[in-house]
Chains A and B, each alone.
Chain A
Amino acid sequence: MAKLNLTLKVWRQENAQAQGRIETYQAKDIPEECSFLEMLDIVNESLVHEGKEPIHFDHDCREGICGMCSLTINGVPHGGKKVTTCQLHMRQFKDGDTIWIEPFRAKAFPILRDLMVDRSALDKIIASGGFVDVRTGAAPNANNMPVRKKTADAAFDAAACIGCGACVASCKNSSAMLFTSAKAAHLNLLPQGHPEKNKRVLAMVRQMDALGFGNCTNQYECEAACPKGISVDNIAKLNRDYMVACAAEAVAVYS
């Protein structure tokens, strides 16, 4: 099995306040079939043996679903292969390659250490309105409300977002529109989410703006970087829903 020798240009930063810098490491004898994070494990193991501090990065499930892993690889979040970093495999690289590894960058995602960033801004957007306000126990029978299969499928497509933040990190404007619109679309499409639709849209958009994310300029870089294929159709829908919600807020008695 082929082994790779790579040069890594890695962003190192001791903590949130420290000045970061790029450092160069040699990754030697990397098995081609290991994942990107396992490659970093190998590098870290040797760093620790040399008594140096390992490269810190976020990761957890390592099967592409928890959304915890990040890393911008050669300028593209998750490396741009339509998978999360943990599912990116080293056979995508060639022997002798130089790989740039940086954190997900955005003002709204402050760096905590090395490649770890704080993405709690995304949680705050959800907390502002990304839910259906039902209490446990109050729910009617699940089959009381039929949902058109196409609608349910579209809602699922939007709900597949793993909240990794690659959309923000890939955006030339650090906009969180894809994330916000996906959650809004998931809930707005379903009849269960309908009663709070306008309220939700206004709250989520205003929260998103307040958190310091940039504005969408329709470049669709987010869609291309998204490991879960979330569509920018959701952004168009959010724009539409936002207009309606504003109109309703301004003039309608029942909004």
Chain B
Amino acid sequence: MNDIKFPVSDYMPDSCIPDGPIEQKWTKYKREAKLINPNNRRKYTVLIVGTGLAGGSAAATLAELGYNVKCFCYQDSPRRAHSIAAQGGINAAHNYQNDGDSVYRLFYDTIKGGDFRAREANVYRLAEVSCDIINQCVAQGVPFGREYGGLLDNRSFGGAQLKRTFYSRGQTGQQLLLGCYQAMEKEIGKGHIEMHPRTEMMDLVVVDGHAKGIVVRDLVTGEIKSYAGDTVLLATGGYGRVFFLSTNAMGCNVGAACACWKKGAYFANPCFTQIHPTCIPVKGDYQSKLTLMSESLRNDGRIWVPKSREVAEKIRKGEMKASDVAEGDRDYYLERKYPSFGNLAPRDISSRAAKEACDDERGVAPSGRGVFLDFKDAIKRMGKEWIDGQYGNLFEMYEEITDVDPHKEPMMIYPASHYTMGGLWVDYNLMSSIPGLHVLGEANFSDHGANRLGASALMQGLSDGYFVISATLPNYLTTQKPGSVTTAAPEFKEAEEAVKARIAQIMDVKGTKTPDEIHRELGKLIWEDVGMGRTKESLMHAIEKIPGIRDEFWKNVKVVGSTEGINMELEKAWRLAYFLDFAEVLCYDALNREESCGAHFRLEHQLPDGEAKRDDEHFAYVACWEYKGTGELPVLHKEPLTFDNVHLAIRSYK
């Protein structure tokens, strides 16, 4: 096995972090930020791609401010973006519970949860605006959970020792998204936002080094069109579907982000992918997605597998029921390994433990990939009614999907790809390394470091969209003459032609494999080799295999139908092509990061007790990858991370 030597560049764009003490950075920034006269704002056109929490809130806010906003999403309505699926809640440092919360504590918990691989200044700003987010959402009519006194309720969540999570039953993401969708619709009604649903961004248009437009495909007519603007805001979410099976929506894709990467935006920390421990296991090859069961179930469920492989095999074959396994034959492995946190060990740790048990051939799902989550003891202790009060809807959902009543037989769960912390590199202004291209929400890399805490994703998306971008955007826009670039510029024509050529190339293959078949193959490879536990060997294996799958795609994909009108096979193939361009950099980054931190676990780098072994001396940096051509090694740029306000501790959950 040959070592890969990554070309490293000394150049790194300025991250534009304001100086001064951390508590004053954002205030100082806002005080000194450029402003645009209200009458001039409408002269600026802002193109926003994606209408999840980040894109939707940015669209609403910028339209309210008076900018001319054009917004695009691939779904049939901006209300359907996948932010809607977030269940748990959203963090904020309001300290309504009087349990000692503060902006600093939220900042500290978030940066520690991210295993010290995020930028201090960004995370502090996130914690600072967290309260404004809750205020804003409540004013919009988001129905958060309340106490009998009429004030807001909070629940506790993983990685925090206090109650700071605001929630709307198990549908917090939905309610927050509807809040910003309604704010968007308000502006659409007033004519301030031009909304383009069922429209997919195909490529970024860069004019004189600045992002000035996008090429899109109208998914209904199949027409390729261009839109020019003064800046582009990318809020297209994460790349979890690179694993094929994930908790992401079917349409989630890396296309837009990858297109920007290919046009010069740096991709930062792509190896930080979060695997969620409590999902319903894979049932068969036909499976299209994995369903998440709320992490809260681990409060009362006990996770186990049989002690012996023979018993496990009998369960797999259906010859034995879980409830027939004697207490002495069960291995409650999380309780055994992590006596103090037990079943509530963090996401990355419990995910890896499940994988280990299944690798030991003690998995219990028919596929061999599944562990039990048992409520028997909790039901015995607290009664069925109490359990139903806590988890009734989750039990129903589980039974609906699996036809197993979790009151009688334990649930089966297995980890699945859930969220991606990595993303396009952005500076403090949320601007990428391409001037004029701003990246918001999950699509950027900024705030979660190597691991995201529960209830932080919603906070980040809304913070970027409601409060950060509105303050930082004028800094870029004031350097630009409004409307200086139109679609008449030759770059647009070029980009359109390139998109059309790529589509034609895909259509012309006329091979034998459907896009889904190839995507499944890619997903399986990435899941096995770049999933929960990574080794140099597995990564090299993936790096070796990916070009083969990509070749297979370009030589043997079968896309029926035409380029005109709706063609869902073409949509799938187009998105897959970008995943295939992107997959290697994910492996390269994982290979380059010779340490274990947060969700990135290199088996070579662990403490004797199996915990992640961070290497702060060599890897306390953001790895930013510059595209140099498909199949070529990308160039690594390093943004060093400095920590002046927190002590770099070892995460321990024993």
Contacts and interface: CB of A to CB of B under 8 A. Distances in A.
Interface in B52-92: 57, 60-61, 64, 75-82, 84-85
Contact of A53 (B134, B401, B560): B560
A135 B251 CA distance: 31
Interface size class of A (residues with CB under 8 A): 35 or more
Contacts of B516: 41, 45
Contacts of B560: 48, 51-54
B136 A137 contact: yes
B139 interface: yes
A31 B284 contact: yes
A248 interface: no
Nearest to B183: A131
Given A62-B288, A113-B566, A143-B152, A132 B146 contact: no
A19 interface: no
Interface stretch (B166-174, B531-539, B548-556): B166-174
B178 interface: yes
B400 interface: yes
B369 interface: no
Contacts of A31: 283-284, 286
B150 A147 contact: yes
A119 B77 contact: yes
B289 interface: yes
Contact of A190 (B64, B76, B141, B566): B141
B292 interface: yes
B132 A34 contact: no
B140 A192 contact: yes
Main secondary structure of the interface of A (DSSP, over half): loop
A130 B181 CA distance: 10
B141 A132 contact: yes
Contacts, number: 220
Contacts of A67: 79-80
A130 B185 contact: yes
Contacts of B85: 61, 63, 65-66
Contacts of B249: 60-62, 66
A161 to B, nearest CB: 9
Interface centre among A34, A89, A146, A152, by most chain B C-beta atoms within 10 angstroms, is A152
B563 interface: no
Given A45-B516, A65-B85, A130-B185, A146 B168 contact: no
B152 to A, nearest CB: 6
B135 interface: yes
A145 B292 CA distance: 34
A246 interface: no
B646 interface: no
Interface string A172-207: 000000000000001100101100000000000000
Interface in A35-71: 35, 37-38, 41-42, 45, 48-49, 51-54, 56, 58-68
26 contacts: A1-B366, A31-B286, A34-B286, A41-B286, A45-B516, A58-B76, A60-B82, A65-B85, A65-B171, A66-B82, A112-B566, A113-B566, A119-B77, A122-B77, A131-B182, A131-B183, A134-B139, A136-B64, A136-B136, A139-B136, A142-B94, A142-B138, A142-B152, A148-B150, A149-B146, A163-B79
Interface of B: 57, 60-61, 64, 75-82, 84-85, 94, 96, 131-132, 134-141, 143-152, 168-169, 171, 174-175, 178, 181-183, 185-186, 188-189, 195, 197, 220, 247, 249-251, 283-284, 286-289, 291-292, 366, 397, 400-403, 466-467, 470, 512, 514, 516-517, 558, 560-561, 565-566, 568-569
